[in-house]
């Protein structure tokens, strides 16, 4: 299969921007990616917009004002994994020989507070009060604690690490360090998850430009190869995430992260031991612990140990969420995976400043969300 | 024909196919499952296809009223949207209840929040959650300690 490279990346800071429309957020990220790739908008042959909460035809609304070049522009949605699907579509188009230069843009501008439940849940689930998103994450955490002895302190350590990393990321929302005590004393949202242990929906944008690997040198001296990009949806009863009304107590299918990671490792010919930096879906602090296990960074039930031993800190064997993760960046859903890709590309280029992982050559980005959508992308120098 | 008196409200399920019929007396109502004749997996409520194997040959199976708490959380803030629980809001338990048929059902847990524990024995209760605009009592379910 034809190899595909990333030749440009761009980002608009994640956060809250009262006086900016989503058009501006998206255009700024797109223009930054074009400059990074030494390209102009007229050179792009196909564009995808990854989004969940923006209105219909947002891709065309954002990009067409940069020049009505007549190229196809398509919006893609798969909840938190939207960016993974959009990226995989771009790669397929290049591999098929249909396009040489493709832009994948992720943009979001979400309402404040809890997300509108009618977009995810049925009416009766909302009426009975079973539509608080963090409750699903919390129930998984509680079960993991029961089965493996994971503790409140382990959860707090995830939040501590990610908030600490974000201080050095100019594109993160919070950029503030919090003490373990402060995290554990922040209000409970859904037991055992505290306010400083979950991510906020917000606004932001990120963009990636891709081309066939053999042409990448024309545009950049630092191309990054896409070693794998695997979107997936969970097998039967294999993931407890909204909107679920029940689960099988008998089915034993592997979770979507496990499935996507396994495929991605196979495609890339790279195992987790050879990966230098990870950006993963820390929608809540517990989620990151479970993902350590499902990505194969440790055995099932041992996620907490990785935190106790500092293995997932910058400087550890498996640095996770060097950007600060969603806990510090916030989650502008459609932009989320592309923001992770931005971080990994920055790391692999050696341009991450104080949060740089020394000598990073391979990185992995992972997203997982509503409807059991998931994606794993592996990038290498 | 005599009009039903105001204290004899009609009872309707919060979701069609979720409960066994009739809805009265409530002590005898059970959650309804759909069991696939192909793979034997059970889903909650009335279904046309099995979400495990895609099979179309399903039979209705009334589910046990008793189960064990498999995991839980506490909803500390009023849920978003058209929540029909107590106003002003009262924090409540939410959990997955494992039933002997091999299914874990997501349900509100009516219980002292400090006493909720994985493995605790629970029984189901069907109760009127709210009265709709046609004066029907809309029946929902929850689990609580045995």
Mean pLDDT of chain A: 96
Pick the closest to residue A264 from A345, A361, A362, A376 (CA basis): A376
pLDDT tens for A156-173 read 999 999 999 999 999 999
* Contact of A229 with A350, CB cutoff 8 Å: no
Q: What is the DSSP letter of B113?
A: G
- Residue ranges of chain B whose CB lies within 8 Å of a chain A CB: 14-15, 18, 41-45, 51-52, 70-77, 79-85, 92, 94-96, 98-99, 102-108, 118, 129-130, 138, 140
B6 inside domain: no
Residue A70 domain flag? yes
Nearest CA in chain A to B52: A236
Model confidence at A113: pLDDT above 90: no
Q: Which letter does DSSP use for residue A9 in this model?
A: E
> Could you tell me if residue B99 is inside a domain?
yes
Is residue B121, in this structure, part of any structural domain at all? yes
Mean pLDDT of A312-339: 97
Give me the residues of chain B with pLDDT under 70, please.
1-7
Domain-embedded: residue A35: yes
- Which of A126, A189, A249 is nearest residue B82 as measured by Cβ atoms? A126
Q: pLDDT at position A241, please?
A: 81
Helices (H) and strands (E) in chain A, counts: 12, 12
Domain that holds residue A47: 4-113+203-210
Q: Is the pLDDT of residue A202 over 90?
A: yes
Q: Which domain does B129 fall in, by range?
A: 14-145
Query: Which residues on chain A place their C-beta less than 8 Å from a C-beta of chain B?
Result: 113-118, 121-124, 126-132, 135, 138-140, 142-143, 146, 187-193, 236-237, 240, 244-251
The pLDDT score that the predictor gives to residue A319 is 98
Active site residue A80: yes
pLDDT band (50, 70, 90) for residue A240: confident
Question: What's the CATH code of the domain at A76?
Answer: 3.40.47.10
Q: Cα(A2)–Cα(A331) distance, rounded to whole angstroms?
A: 32
Alpha carbon dihedral A341, A343, A345, A347, in 10-degree steps, equals: -150
Contact call for A129 and B71, based on CB within 8 A: no
Number of compact structural domains in chain A: 1
Shortest CA gap B15–chain A (Å): 6
Looking at residue A216, what is its pLDDT? 97
Q: For the sheet containing B42-44, what is the strand order? A: B42-44, B32-36, B58-62
Separation of alpha carbons B8 and A319, rounded Å: 64
Choosing from A74, A80, A287, A374, the catalytic residue is: A80
With beta carbons less than 8 A apart as the criterion, state whether A240 and B106 touch: no
Any domain includes A360: no
Give contacts of A122 with chain B, Cβ < 8 Å: 15
Answer whether A135 sits within 8 Å of B52, measured CB to CB.
Answer: no
Q: Is pLDDT at A60 greater than 60 in this prediction?
A: yes
Quick check: A32 pLDDT over 60?
yes
The string of DSSP letters for A232-278 reads: EEPPTT----SS-SEEESS--PPPHHHHHHHHHHHHHT--GGG--EE
In order of A8, A111, A134, A145, B119, the CA distances from A140 in angstroms are 38, 26, 10, 9, 15
Q: What is the DSSP letter of A354?
A: G
Closest in B43, B45, B73 to A139, CB measured? B73
The total of structural domains in chain B comes to 1
User: In the structure, what pLDDT confidence band is assigned to residue A133 with cuts at 50, 70 and 90?
Assistant: confident
How close A81 gets to chain B, by Cα (Å)? 22
- Strand ranges in chain A using DSSP code E only, listed in sequence order: 4-15, 46-50, 73-76, 102-109, 188-190, 193-194, 203-212, 224-233, 246-248, 277-279, 362-369, 373-380
| pLDDT for residue A297 is more than 80 | yes
Question: ipTM score here?
Answer: 0.94
Measure CB to CB from residue B104 to each of A118, A123, A246 and give the nearest one.
A246
């Amino acid at each position: 299969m034809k190899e595909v490279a990333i030749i440009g990346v761009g980002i608009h800071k994640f956060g809250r921007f009262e006086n900016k429309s989503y058009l501006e957020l998206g255009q700024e990220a797109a223009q930054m990616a074009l400059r990074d790739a030494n390209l102009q908008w007229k050179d792009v042959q196909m564009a995808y917009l990854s989004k969940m909460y923006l209105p219909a035809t947002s891709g065309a609304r954002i990009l067409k004002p940069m020049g009505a070049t007549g190229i196809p522009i398509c919006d893609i949605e798969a909840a938190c994994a939207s960016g993974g699907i959009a990226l995989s579509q771009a790669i397929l188009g290049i591999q098929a020989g249909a396009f040489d230069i493709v832009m994948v843009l992720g943009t979001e501008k979400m309402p404040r507070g809890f997300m509108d439940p009618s977009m995810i849940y049925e009416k009766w689930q909302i009426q009975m009060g079973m539509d608080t998103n963090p409750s699903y994450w919390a129930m998984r955490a509680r079960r993991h604690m029961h089965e493996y002895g994971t503790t409140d302190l382990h959860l707090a350590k995830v939040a501590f690490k990610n908030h600490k990393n974000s201080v050095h990321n100019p594109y993160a929302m919070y950029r503030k360090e919090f003490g373990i005590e402060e995290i554990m004393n922040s209000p409970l949202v859904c037991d055992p998850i505290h306010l400083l242990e979950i991510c906020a929906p917000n606004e932001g944008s990120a963009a990636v430009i891709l081309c066939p690997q053999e042409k990448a040198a024309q545009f950049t001296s630092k191309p990054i190869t896409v070693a794998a990009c695997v979107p997936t949806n969970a097998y039967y009863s294999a993931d407890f995430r909204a909107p679920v009304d029940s689960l099988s107590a008998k089915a034993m299918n592997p979770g979507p992260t496990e499935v996507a990671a396994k495929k991605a490792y196979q495609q890339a010919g790279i195992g987790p031991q050879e990966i230098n930096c990870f950006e993963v879906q820390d929608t809540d602090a517990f989620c990151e612990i479970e993902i350590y296990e499902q990505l194969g960074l440790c055995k099932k039930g041992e996620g907490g140990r990785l935190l106790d031993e500092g293995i997932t800190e910058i400087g550890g064997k498996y640095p996770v969420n060097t950007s600060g993760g969603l806990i510090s960046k916030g989650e502008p859903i459609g932009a989320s995976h592309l923001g992770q890709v931005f971080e990994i590309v920055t790391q692999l280029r050696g341009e991450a400043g104080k949060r740089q992982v020394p000598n990073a050559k391979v990185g992995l980005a992972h997203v997982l969300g509503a409807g059991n959508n998931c994606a794993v992308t592996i990038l290498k120098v | 024909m005599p009009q039903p008196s105001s204290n004899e409200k009609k009872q309707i399920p919060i979701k069609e196919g979720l409960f066994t019929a009739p809805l009265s007396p409530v002590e005898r109502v059970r959650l309804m499952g759909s069991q696939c004749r192909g793979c034997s997996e059970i889903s909650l409520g009335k279904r046309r296809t099995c979400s495990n194997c895609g099979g179309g040959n399903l039979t209705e199976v009334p589910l046990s009223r008793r189960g064990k708490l498999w995991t839980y959380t506490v909803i500390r803030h009023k849920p978003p949207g058209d929540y029909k629980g107590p106003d002003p809001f009262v924090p409540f338990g939410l959990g997955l209840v494992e039933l002997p048929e091999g299914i874990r059902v997501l349900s509100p847990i009516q219980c002292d929040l400090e006493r909720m524990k994985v493995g605790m024995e629970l029984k189901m209760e069907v109760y009127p959650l709210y009265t709709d605009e046609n004066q029907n009592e809309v029946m929902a379910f929850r689990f609580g300690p045995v």
